[in-house]
Structure 1
Amino acid sequence: MIKWSVNHKSIIMLFVVLTLIVGGFLYGAMERQENPTVAAPVAVIKIIYPGATPEDIEKLIIKPVEDEMNRISDIKTIESFALDSIGIVKVTLKDLSDGKIDEAWNEVKSGLDTVKPLLPPDAHEPTMETDLASSYGIIIGLTSQDYTYQNLSEVANKLRDELITDPGVKAIDIDGEINDQIHINLDMIKLEQYTVSPTDIATAIKARNINIPGGNLVMDQVKIPVQVSGEYKDIEEIKNTIVAVSTETGAPIYLKNVADVVRIQEKKEIFASVNNEKALLIGVEYMDGQNIVAIGERLNTILDEFSMNQLYENMELITLTDQANFTKDAINLFEKNLLSAILLVVMVVVVTMGLRSAIVVSLPIPIVIVMVFIFMYLSGIPLHQVSIASLIISLSLLVANGIVVNDNINVYLEKGHDRLTACTKGIQEVKIPILTSTLTTVASFIPLAMMQGVSGKFVKSLPVLVSVALIGSYITALTVIPALGYKLLKVKEKDTEGKGIKTKIAKVLKVDGFSAYILNLYGRLLKGALKIPVLVILFFVGTLIASLWVIPSLGVQLFPPVERDQYVIDVTTQDGSDVEKTEKAAIMIGDLLKEDVTINDFAYKVGDGMLQYYVTFIPNDPASNKVQFLINGDRDEVSRIEKELSTKVPGVSINIRQLENAAPVTYPVQVRVSGQEISELRRIAEEIKDITHDVPGIKSIEDNYGYDSYKLNIRVNEEKANLVGVTNYDIASTVRMAVNGLTVSELKEEDIEKDAIPIILKIPDEKKQDRDVLNNIFITSQITDKNIPINQIAEIETETSLNKIVRRNGGRTITVGIFVESRYNSNEISKSVEELLKDYKLPDGYTIEFGGESEERSDAFDSMKVPAILAIVIIYLILVIQFGNLKEPLIIMGTIPLSFIGIIWGLKWMGYPIGFMALLGAISLMGVVVNNGIVLLDFIKLLVKEKDDVKEAIIEACKTRMRPIMIGMITTVISLIPLALSGGALWAPMATSIIFGMLVSSVLTLLVIPCAYFVIQGKEGLN
């Protein structure tokens, strides 16, 4: 292949040009997104059972589902929530591949089918949601104080019709709509006078409001459809519905005689606001596999045109979040980093190797990058920050092969060989060592692709793309570089000295003199080290052991928060608070936020969570005492804003959360207590709060059971009810109608685009201010047709009631959740809490466990153990094959842990904690360290065979290989500097690990490997 490439240079160049052209076109067509798409191993099952208490939900809904789910082996945890009228089961799977996750969900669905016959007849069908990671690409706020919700809905629907025409739009949801309803406010006194029951009215309305096809008549061989229609056309027809006939006069009794029929706006239970003004939220979901940057640009054009031409006066469209803009910014940043890294590497190569060598070594860089783009396009890997970071990491690695090959060509040229010989034999001599180094580097990355956790899947494309780049680098080293080398490289002639660019630069920078000085210094240092090789090795081992003591001071953080000027404020009012009370707190907070200059705009939802605008964002569950804010503002001001809001808005719980790169947790620190009796669980939880309350760094503590509320329990006297012909169902349905209202039919609008208006049978709200409303309810006997007051057949009692029951893995569990001050580490708080509770005595049958961020962190770090061990084993096997024995590979492998010295002190100096990305950098570094060791040890062995004085052979080999090793080190460090400086808290720790690890490992390679080889080979025959 090498000789063929030299003899067919034009063909090689043709392939190069074609590759660059194809790659350029594919790059423009590639899918773009901010982060990799990760399948969430979490599903939420919801089952509604109207009117059921949490105790009933736990027994009749949750328990059967849990029992069936426990049969599925791939489930990691089951968390259940028994609430009023609804049961929620959250299923989390073990670490599985995406394909196995789909199989597991199929098992869960089959299990639900098995459970369905066991559920109460009145329970709704179970629903299961698995697409919890999908988020809206753009969320728009449509706001105005001058218009009704109906006006806002009209405009929002027009905008939806415009946006949905874009081929990149998958779905559009309008959130926060407040629709009209038709209320039939019953007058219970008149109903009793006319002896008309609510059931009679519901039956009459359903029978009147019909539209039934009557079939077809065939007349003169033409089908004529017959329609029997009695549908309501307006509210007047509803009022004039005959609901009964007077038994005394025979006159019809109309609905308007016994009820007040009105069309009003539904009660605001869940609604949105933007910048403290009435608003609707419009969420746009993008199609999968698309360039969302291009989609975003098209949608912004539509929004601009809509605002100018169709938006009502004094209405405003506010873009609250736009994934396309964030993606564009992220990719642009990484592209700039990549270009900066390429330019820096080329400059280093020009200065150290000359212009001709720089062209030979650097030209393969764009070729390999384009090869990676082609692979990404064919394999469906999008362009995002992880894939571009892969290219930045690969940059120094793919240059290394070119440096070694180019250096050996020059060695042959300097020995007097012609260009053909130099470009063929020179490369032939090193093709096995660079193949081995390429394979060992690939081996250090590939096992990372085996990680199945969410963290592993997040970076899964990184090892794959780095491996593709390395393989591409090896191919170009055997094809493009010999062809270019034959054309450009030549032996220096004496009369041309001083005329080359490299020489001129070297003179200005005094590079040659400095290089000679360093080379001589290294030679003397190595000669001295070979006199005491064991002590040299022990010194570095001791330095490593001493460095390990620094690790605890670094702190631990799985992933840093997303570096985006957006955050969430979760506000909780007192348990049992109605929406009106929660809205007042939201308005008060909104007024304070409007005055803050660091906040651009904000939106909130009362009674429900915000639309999911980021893959790891968890919206609030529906609750009348909760409001969730989305803030666009400076995230560095989060701590200040949280303190100010907590001070100025008393009586509410305020917690600010930043977006997370990792899977989010409800509480950073958790203490979970499991047992049977809820009262005992609550007692234990209160004691835990008291014990841990004064731990420094704790911001607030709460538990997930909350407080009990009151309920009115209607105890039916079965004997009395049966005697008068009233069933429990009659009582329950009538009470439900009176308290919550009962939807009996609907009025269809003439405009088919509008939803039908529900017709609701109810008691007027102003008459439901106290419990006396229940005493005024009567039920019509099915036997005597008489009205029976409810207080004659039942007693109404006031009782305390659980708001919810929480279970975990089949047992009742209460969680004490701890929020942590921003300047503290949750890992430290968790250790302090565990230490305080280590002697806490639990009653028999109760257990305690700790969780939170530390739990997720432990799972992620554990998932790295097997890949790291596998990488080491694969690297060792490759080296054994390369060197043909078991001892010499150990020399190279021994430099891997020594590189941790640089990693530890680099993280310490830069102030980064130990996290997933820092450890990823450490694992990635293994292949680079081994590369240098292979190049050095292989040449040492070669010269030892040729020379009688082995010590001098070692010194000469090390001095000869010092240049490519140091150039490789410099290019690695230089290429990662942009990522270290502007990669943010996510990528900078990884770049720091590689940079500082590389700096130290390169020095150690040039000292430890020759000393270790000297020791292992023995001193027999050495001078």
Structure 2
Amino acid sequence: MNVAKLSVLRPVAMSMLIVLLIMLGMVSLRNLPVDLFPELDYPVVAVTASYEGAGPEEVEQLITRPLEEMMASVQNVESVSSTSRTGGALVLVAFDWGTDLDFATLTMRERIDQIRDRLPPGVTTPQVMRFDPSMLPIVQLAITDQHGDLAETKNLIENEIQPRLDSIDGVAAVQIEGGTTQEIRLEVDPDQLASYGLSLNDLQQIISSENLNIPGGEVTDANQSLPVRITGEFQSIYDLQVLPIPTVEGVIPLSNLASIQETTAPTLQESYLNGEPAIGVSILKGSGTNTVSVARNINLEIKEMLELLPEGTNIRIIFDQSQFIEQSIQAVGWNIVIGGLLAAFVLYVFLRNIRSTFIIAFSIPISIMTTFLFLFFYGETLNILTLGGLALGVGMMVDNSIVILENIYRKRSEGEGKKEAAINGTNEIGGAIIASTLTTVVVFLPIVFVEGLAAQLFKPLAVTVAFSLLASLITALIIVPLLSSTFMAVNHHTSAFERGFERTKAAYRRFLERSLHKPKTVLFSTMGLLGLSLACIPLLGTEFLPAQDQSFVSIDARLPAGNDLQATLSLTEEIDEHLTNIPEIELAYVTVGGTDNFTIGAGSQVNRASYSLLLKQISERSRSDLVVAEDVRERLKQIPNVDIRVTASDTGFSDNPIALTVKGPDLQTLKRISDEMIKTISNVEGVREPTANYNEGSPEVTISIDRNAAASYGVGSAQIANTIGNATKGVVATKIARDGEELDVRLQVEEKYTASVDHLAQLLIDTPTGERIPLSAVATVERGQGPSSIRRVDRLREITVRADILGRDLGSVVTDIEFALKEEIRPLLPSGYRITFGGQNEQMNDAFFKLSGAIALAVLLVYMVMAGRFESFFYPLIIMFSVPVTAIGVIGGLLITSQPLGVGSLIGILILTGIVVNNAIVLVDYMNTLQSEGYSTYQSILQAAPTRLRPILMTALTTILGLVPLTLGFGEGTEVQQPMAIVIVFGLAVSTFITLILIPVIYLLADKLKKRHSDQELEL
């Protein structure tokens, strides 16, 4: 290769290039954004609209359906789902992966403008917003106070802690949950007010009008123009107590009409950390920012704030995504280092030459730095998948360098000078090295055409492996010849290993001779092993992505609708008792009352408690998060009348393992079918916590206004609703400023007037004539059941049953569920109703189909690259026989390690397709070279195969040993890469040994067939 000649003859220039590459690589590494996973561009856009007071049926008919029809007509829409509930609608539009969502959202807004006039009066303008994974918090804090004054603590958070956290570069939002706020409460007796000729509204207006500071124009005094300001703001509770109120009985102080006290405002949400009252703080990062960098700055700011906070106030981190990221990246980084050291050890064992080992070992950091440089300019982030790609590539990085170095070393041993050997050795093998590298790189090209979640995740890994191999090719063609021409020394003494290897090579030659004499035996034996391996595929099982142990378990506990906050707090006390004896739990943080993420009009769900359990680090516990979650699940089963879900190993970007959707027109029929489905799948082994997303309506008080009766008294529906709202919720009459904060002054009726439905029915309504009538005179007050929400997918009503799995692979569980549904449910399905599978099973099937197509395309591309290299379709066909035999090692490896076949395994097979042909390329290329020099086919095989045995074993062993740490799954965050590593290690190990015999045998048979065909043509 001319580049090798240039490298050898211009050592100073090339040395400067090496230094420049290393420096640029280090700068790129420092500037690469660090994250857990690549930023996923979820193709989901939400449309929300509110219609106050409307029930689910009205919302579905008047809002949801028109929006669904318009959204379904937008280009590249995959599915449209909706939720219609009291007071609003949520429509989720899922697009094909790869859709330009900026243009899609613009089109959606245009379509909404077209139907805006068709929506009923009172409907808010529908809002369009994209779903962004960065909306999820990267750090969650729990702030406690030893003195128990949560109102003061919340004030401290809002005035000091939140502003400091907001000012950190990269922080998008800081959300506060829990805690209490102070307010001044005025409780009045409506009957007493009436005796003074006042109503609640009258009192509210008087208080509000007296609490103000207003400008009063200007006056001129001593040639000066002075602004006039009228001051009348309340300064304290005393000002309220003595406030004069004009009544029919004369002017009296407010304290005679109302009970005035400072107290805590009613709250529908409380938080606890390890049983102590706490306030939660969630911190969200901006899109595109560095998660680790932002989290580090947050932690530094917290350390500084802890020194300034009042005594007794403490900040605990209950979730920090950067910790898992750093642990995962550190684990993968160590795997790279260990893999590199193992590869260097293999080199030294085979070469027994410290200088030659140094040359190869030095090529690894150069290749890695060059890879970082490529990643920086490509715009990729540093995450566990890109580092996983680097770990996969570290063993392959040295393959090219090994082959070239071994060839140079052989030339030197034959007596050539340093520079001549470096140039000639590189030129002789350079073409085959480029071809073998391109065959490995080209297998990643089909991933560009694959869409879906799996492709979004693994494209960065594929890009990293491709970049690392291209970097290694540059290193092999430039750096290795340069260093070899300077540092290489030849061993003139024979070591014990060398003598042992010579005996191994001789034994291999003898075995190869026997194989060449019995080619049919070799072929049939290989086909038998391949057939046996393929027959074992059903034993593997299937999965989408492996679970990741993030040392985090969540619990979602819900009491039946209608239970109040106190009932839920009592539930948490019972749950806490069950959690106390679990040694793996380090922190337990619970929020009582809350809202569903990403839903409209959910309100505060006081019957719900959400737990976040932070576990000890993996090295400090013997049980995985999944096992701990199962333990929690079993303990909490004892609690009656509560729906509890326990989840662990949630990656955040995949659905529940099991998701069954039943679709049809009638909601009650769907509910009945979904209940039967839950009973059926609960009996399937491995299924945990099947639940439906159907929500029963909550108990409520229904007030039906008699418009005729109300009109006869001269009152309207709005006035009645306003009176009821003021009585039940109170009304903020004004605010009092104190110590830099504002306290609400809430005016409300005494609790006895809203203590029951009967009391509410006796609430007095003012009429224009001055008469006061009870609510029961103009309305019917009764308890009832509120309407449930209505969910639709692709304009059909649906209920989805979701479940987790434990102890079995996804494919086996789904197969059993399909059989159970076929036997028990499907025969009873009414006409117009159907059941479909979704969740991870749908994602898995989609990924399997697309990746299988990518593997087939990769095989074709590999063949085309080799056809271009050999300028023949014949020899590449021989080499391609090394691809199918990898199935023997792949299937065997997965069976031995009890790994199901998943997306990671398929990516490993894709990578393996490009790797396994490399040894065959080097072998066939040298056979062709020897034939061109006059050797017979038989002689060229017996000469080439033993000669290339050393570089083939070296490249295979360095790749295999480089992946051993990942195969064993050392450290956090390696679960995703482990299946890939297993596939490559076992597949390459088996295929290497088979290829050393199979390819020469096929080469001999094919050459005989080719000559026979040529002889027949000559005879014709």
**TM more than 0.5:** yes
Kindly report which structure 2 residues correspond to 1:447-466, keeping only aligned pairs within 5 A, or say none.
447-466=446-465
Kindly report which structure 2 residues correspond to 1:503-582, keeping only aligned pairs within 5 A, or say none.
503=494, 506-507=495-496, 511-582=497-568
Q: Name the structure 2 match of 1:1017.
A: 1007
CA shift at 1:824, angstroms?
A: 3.2
Kindly report which structure 2 residues correspond to 1:363-378, keeping only aligned pairs within 5 A, or say none.
363-378=362-377
- Residue 749 (str. 1) matches residue 749 (str. 2): no
TM (norm. structure 2) is 0.90
**Larger deviation: 829-838 or 996-1005?**
829-838
CA shift at 1:8, angstroms?
A: 0.7
CA shift at 1:2, angstroms?
A: 2.0
Task: From the superposition, tell whether residues 372 and 826 of structure 1 become closer, same or farther in structure 2 (CA, over 3 Å).
Answer: closer
Task: From the superposition, tell whether residues 458 and 68 of structure 1 become closer, same or farther in structure 2 (CA, over 3 Å).
Answer: same
1:1021, 1:383 → 2: CA distance? 54
Q: Secondary structure of the residue that 1:321 maps to in structure 2?
A: strand
Query: Structure 2 counterpart of 1:778, which letter?
Result: L
Match of 2:762 among 776, 793, 799: 776
- Residue 383 (str. 1) matches residue 369 (str. 2): no
1:925, 1:892 → 2: CA distance? 14
Q: Name the structure 2 match of 1:326.
A: 324
Contact 1:344 1:974 in 2 (8 A): yes
Q: Name the structure 1 match of 2:176.
A: 174
Task: From the superposition, tell whether residues 194 and 167 of structure 1 become closer, same or farther in structure 2 (CA, over 3 Å).
Answer: same
Contact 1:42 1:91 in 2 (8 A): yes
Q: Name the structure 2 match of 1:728.
A: 717
Q: Name the structure 1 match of 2:103.
A: 103
Q: Name the structure 2 match of 1:931.
A: 918
Task: From the superposition, tell whether residues 130 and 212 of structure 1 become closer, same or farther in structure 2 (CA, over 3 Å).
Answer: farther
Contact 1:62 1:80 in 2 (8 A): yes
Q: Secondary structure of the residue that 2:659 maps to in structure 1?
A: strand
1:221, 1:45 → 2: CA distance? 62
Instruction: Quote the sequence identity (%).
Output: 27
Kindly report which structure 2 residues correspond to 1:498-897, keeping only aligned pairs within 5 A, or say none.
498=493, 503=494, 506-507=495-496, 511-608=497-594, 622-633=604-615, 635=625, 637-639=627-629, 641-661=631-651, 663-665=653-655, 667-739=656-728, 741-752=729-740, 754=741, 756-782=742-768, 784-820=769-805, 822-838=806-822, 839-897=826-884
2:1008, 2:568 → 1: CA distance? 80
Q: Secondary structure of the residue that 2:583 maps to in structure 1?
A: coil
Contact 1:827 1:853 in 2 (8 A): no
Query: Structure 2 counterpart of 1:713, which letter?
Result: T
Contact 2:171 2:286 in 1 (8 A): yes
Task: From the superposition, tell whether residues 576 and 929 of structure 1 become closer, same or farther in structure 2 (CA, over 3 Å).
Answer: same
Q: Name the structure 2 match of 1:970.
A: 957
CA shift at 1:840, angstroms?
A: 2.4
Contact 2:733 2:747 in 1 (8 A): no
CA shift at 1:724, angstroms?
A: 2.6
1:456, 1:748 → 2: CA distance? 57
CA shift at 1:995, angstroms?
A: 0.4
Task: From the superposition, tell whether residues 444 and 826 of structure 1 become closer, same or farther in structure 2 (CA, over 3 Å).
Answer: closer
Q: Which ranges of structure 1 fall in alignment gaps of 5 or more residues?
A: none
Task: From the superposition, tell whether residues 36 and 134 of structure 1 become closer, same or farther in structure 2 (CA, over 3 Å).
Answer: farther
Q: Name the structure 2 match of 1:39.
A: 41
1:413, 1:46 → 2: CA distance? 74
Task: From the superposition, tell whether residues 769 and 538 of structure 1 become closer, same or farther in structure 2 (CA, over 3 Å).
Answer: farther
- Residue 284 (str. 1) matches residue 287 (str. 2): no
Query: Structure 2 counterpart of 1:307, which letter?
Result: L
Contact 2:588 2:611 in 1 (8 A): yes
CA shift at 1:875, angstroms?
A: 1.7
1:829, 1:451 → 2: CA distance? 27
CA shift at 1:636, angstroms?
A: 5.5
Contact 1:39 1:133 in 2 (8 A): no
Kindly report which structure 2 residues correspond to 1:421-500, keeping only aligned pairs within 5 A, or say none.
421-489=420-488, 492=490, 497-498=492-493
What value does the CA root-mean-square deviation take over the aligned residues? 3.2
Task: From the superposition, tell whether residues 478 and 686 of structure 1 become closer, same or farther in structure 2 (CA, over 3 Å).
Answer: closer
Task: From the superposition, tell whether residues 61 and 274 of structure 1 become closer, same or farther in structure 2 (CA, over 3 Å).
Answer: farther
**Larger deviation: 382-391 or 188-197?**
188-197
CA shift at 1:333, angstroms?
A: 1.5
Contact 2:629 2:647 in 1 (8 A): no
Query: Structure 1 counterpart of 2:946, which letter?
Result: K
Contact 2:533 2:888 in 1 (8 A): yes
Q: Deviations over 1:237-266 (max 9, x none)?
A: 5566677753xx6x3577656544444322
1:933, 1:225 → 2: CA distance? 95
Q: Deviations over 1:345-376 (max 9, x none)?
A: 11111111232322332322111111112233
Task: From the superposition, tell whether residues 640 and 767 of structure 1 become closer, same or farther in structure 2 (CA, over 3 Å).
Answer: same
Q: Name the structure 1 match of 2:267.
A: 268
1:640, 1:695 → 2: CA distance? 16
CA shift at 1:759, angstroms?
A: 4.3
TM (norm. structure 1) is 0.90
Q: Which ranges of structure 2 fall in alignment gaps of 5 or more residues?
A: 617-624, 1016-1020
CA shift at 1:278, angstroms?
A: 0.6
Q: Secondary structure of the residue that 1:393 maps to in structure 2?
A: helix
Q: Secondary structure of the residue that 2:695 maps to in structure 1?
A: coil
CA shift at 1:294, angstroms?
A: 5.3
Q: Secondary structure of the residue that 1:894 maps to in structure 2?
A: helix
Q: Secondary structure of the residue that 1:767 maps to in structure 2?
A: helix
Q: Secondary structure of the residue that 2:660 maps to in structure 1?
A: strand
1:687, 1:332 → 2: CA distance? 48
2:593, 2:963 → 1: CA distance? 47
Q: Deviations over 1:366-402 (max 9, x none)?
A: 1111111223333443322222222221122221111
Task: From the superposition, tell whether residues 633 and 933 of structure 1 become closer, same or farther in structure 2 (CA, over 3 Å).
Answer: same
Q: Secondary structure of the residue that 2:339 maps to in structure 1?
A: helix
Q: Name the structure 2 match of 1:337.
A: 335
CA shift at 1:1018, angstroms?
A: 2.8
2:405, 2:641 → 1: CA distance? 72
Kindly report which structure 2 residues correspond to 1:135-154, keeping only aligned pairs within 5 A, or say none.
135-144=136-145, 146-154=147-155
Q: Deviations over 1:73-105 (max 9, x none)?
A: 3333333223333433333332226xx133333
Report the number of matched residues.
993
CA shift at 1:968, angstroms?
A: 0.5
CA shift at 1:775, angstroms?
A: 1.5
Query: Structure 2 counterpart of 1:888, which letter?
Result: Y
Contact 2:626 2:649 in 1 (8 A): no
Query: Structure 2 counterpart of 1:497, which letter?
Result: H
Contact 2:198 2:247 in 1 (8 A): no
**Larger deviation: 943-952 or 987-996?**
943-952
1:980, 1:513 → 2: CA distance? 32
CA shift at 1:286, angstroms?
A: 4.3
Q: Secondary structure of the residue that 1:146 maps to in structure 2?
A: coil
CA shift at 1:912, angstroms?
A: 1.2
**Larger deviation: 263-272 or 20-29?**
20-29
Contact 2:693 2:799 in 1 (8 A): yes
- Residue 77 (str. 1) matches residue 101 (str. 2): no
- Residue 360 (str. 1) matches residue 359 (str. 2): yes
